[in-house]
Every structure is written in C-alpha cells, then in structure tokens.
C-alpha cells in the first residue's frame, strides 16, 4: 500500500522538469519495490557507521547502485544527535562482545575522555558498527521486500474479489415478475 502513499505525478510535473533539467536518472527518485528497499539498505548501512558526512557517503553510492536517494538520506537521519549516543554505545558494547573484550567501565561524555581513550574505543566501536550496518540493514532490506510483495498480492486479491463480485452482480439476472416459465408455457398451451 506504500504506492498509494506516493501519488503518481503527471508528465508535466515539477519533478519531471527537475529530472530533465539536471539529467538525473529516474531511478534516483522512483517509487518501486527495488528502488525503495535499496534506498533503505544504503541509508541504514551508512546511518550505523560512526562518521561525519554520512549523506555524502550515500550520494557517493549512487553511480554504483540505483536506489531512491531521498529515502536513503532520510534513513541516514535515523542516526541524529539525539540517537547517536545510544546507538554508538550499543555498537561499542556489541563490538566488545564480538571481540571478547571487557570494555571500559567509567565512560564520560567529554572530549578529553574520548581523546584519552580513543585507542581503546575505536576497534570495538567499528566492529559493532560493521555488524549493525551489515546485519540490520540487510534484515530491513529483506523485510521491506517481503512486506511490499505481500502488500501487492493482497491488493491484487482484493481487486480480483471486487471484480468477481461486480461481474456476478452484472451477469446475475433476476426477473422482476414472479411467475415461472412453466406458467407461461401452460398459458400458451391453453390458447
């Protein structure tokens, strides 16, 4: 039903003029299962990586993968200034778990602490980030694909039901009079 959320634009729309003016591939803005699910995959992948300019990394992927760029950029913003500390802490803990390390106990949110402990943080943080970038973004990609396919099948079956119901309604003839054909034949025999 996601397709219903995005209205189809007419051929003379502002979006089409923008695409023609800047000679952009239509896939960068198209709304279909492959384009949207790839956009979510790319956006979540870079959203989990602790780095500056994640949106630039998304844009750098456009020549290699065809995906919906606005969807990908919006997925990157799942890691925003409010969600970054818990995300990166979760990635750090996961990285320590994967590497079998203890980790640092007394964590402070100051620049001095981070610069003093950067060597102990960086490997577990990026190990956890790699895990979440690959695993979570892939799972969400497959989930969106399956949900989209199920949604299309459900919509098609609903249309088929309506079509059959309308067909049955149109082709079912119910006479308005109550007499039967046998009565008509008996009257004609009497004459």
pLDDT tens by residue, 21-66: 766 666 777 788 888 999 999 999 999 999 888 899 998 988 888 8
Q: Is the pLDDT of residue 189 over 70?
A: no
pTM over 0.85: no
The predicted model gives 64-79 an average pLDDT of: 89
Q: Is the pLDDT of residue 136 over 50?
A: yes
- pLDDT band, very low/low/confident/very high, at 131 (cuts 50, 70, 90): very high
Going by C-alpha positions, the residue among 128, 150, 130, 120 that lies closest to residue 2 is 150
Supply the pLDDT for residue 186.
60
Mean residue pLDDT of the chain comes to 81
Structure tokens at 168: 């049955």
Going by C-alpha positions, the residue among 141, 114, 50 that lies closest to residue 88 is 50
Q: Is the pLDDT of residue 9 over 50?
A: no
Going by C-alpha positions, the residue among 132, 138, 65 that lies closest to residue 97 is 132
Would you say 162 and 169 are in contact if contact means Cβ atoms under 8 Å apart? no
Going by C-alpha positions, the residue among 143, 137, 152, 168 that lies closest to residue 40 is 137
Supply the pLDDT for residue 180.
56
Q: For the chain, what percent of residues have pLDDT higher than 70?
A: 79
13 vs 161, higher pLDDT: 161
Supply the pLDDT for residue 40.
92
Q: Is the pLDDT of residue 19 over 90?
A: no
The predicted model gives 85-110 an average pLDDT of: 86
């Amino acid at each position: 039903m996601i397709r219903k959320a995005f209205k189809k634009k007419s051929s003379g729309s502002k979006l089409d003029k923008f695409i023609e003016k800047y000679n952009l591939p239509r896939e960068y803005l198209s709304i279909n299962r492959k384009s949207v699910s790839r956009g979510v995959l790319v956006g979540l992948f870079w959203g989990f990586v602790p780095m500056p300019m994640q949106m630039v990394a998304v844009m750098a992927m456009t020549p290699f993968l065809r995906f919906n760029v606005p969807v990908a950029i919006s997925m990157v913003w799942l890691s925003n200034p409010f969600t970054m500390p818990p995300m990166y802490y979760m990635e750090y803990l996961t990285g320590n778990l994967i590497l079998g390390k203890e980790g640092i106990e007394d964590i402070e949110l100051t620049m001095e602490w981070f610069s003093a402990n950067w060597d102990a943080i960086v490997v577990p943080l990026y190990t956890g980030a790699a895990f979440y970038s690959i695993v979570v973004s892939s799972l969400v990609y497959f989930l969106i694909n399956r949900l989209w396919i199920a949604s299309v099948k459900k919509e098609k079956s609903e249309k088929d039901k309506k079509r059959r119901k309308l067909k049955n309604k149109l082709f079912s003839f119910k006479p308005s009079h109550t007499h039967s054909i046998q009565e008509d034949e008996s009257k004609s025999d009497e004459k």
